[in-house]
């Protein structure tokens, strides 16, 4: 069995953000240029899924007051956790971390 975890790539051009009809209320961009979903404002249309090159946002069925019950969810660096991403804390071999550099930035050797 192979487990492949897929996570948001946090693309610099944010195609999911650009396609959301409720941009800035449901699909939001924070001060660190991280896109996150304000679930309470998501209408569950799925346009963010269609725009995502990595196919990482998901539509989940959640209890909601609106008639659709569909809400998009994606990885957002555990914004609601004051101590940071849970994966960093719980990685058993401590191989996950955060860097000041973006994944595509070149590093000096």
In total, how many domains does the chain have? Answer: 1
96 occurs within a structural domain = no
* Three-state secondary structure string covering the chain: CCCCCCCCCCCCCCHHHHHCCCECCCEEECCCCCEEECHHHCCCCCHHHHHCCCCCCEEEECCCCCCCCEEEECCCCCCCCCCCCHHHHHCCCCCCCCCCCCCCCCCCC
Per-position pLDDT tens, the chain of length 109: 454 556 777 888 999 999 999 999 999 998 888 888 898 899 888 898 888 887 766 766 666 565 567 788 787 888 888 888 888 888 888 888 877 665 444 444 4
67 occurs within a structural domain = yes
42 lies in which domain range?
15-90
Whole-structure pTM value: 0.66
How many other CB atoms are found less than 10 A from the CB of residue 42? Answer: 25
99 occurs within a structural domain = no
User: What is the Cβ-side half-sphere exposure of residue 94, based on CA atoms within 13 angstroms?
Assistant: 0
Specify the CATH number for the domain of residue 40.
Answer: 3.30.70.20
Tokens of 89: 């804390």
């Amino acid at each position: 069995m192979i487990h492949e975890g897929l996570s948001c790539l946090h693309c610099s051009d944010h195609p999911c953000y650009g396609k959301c009809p409720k941009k800035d209320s449901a699909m939001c961009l924070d001060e660190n240029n991280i896109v996150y979903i304000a679930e309470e404002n998501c209408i569950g249309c799925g346009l963010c899924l269609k725009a995502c090159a990595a196919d990482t946002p998901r539509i989940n069925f959640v209890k909601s007051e609106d008639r659709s019950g569909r809400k998009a969810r994606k990885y957002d660096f555990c914004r609601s956790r004051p101590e940071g991403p849970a994966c960093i804390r719980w990685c058993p071999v401590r191989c996950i971390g955060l860097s000041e550099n973006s994944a595509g930035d070149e590093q000096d050797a």
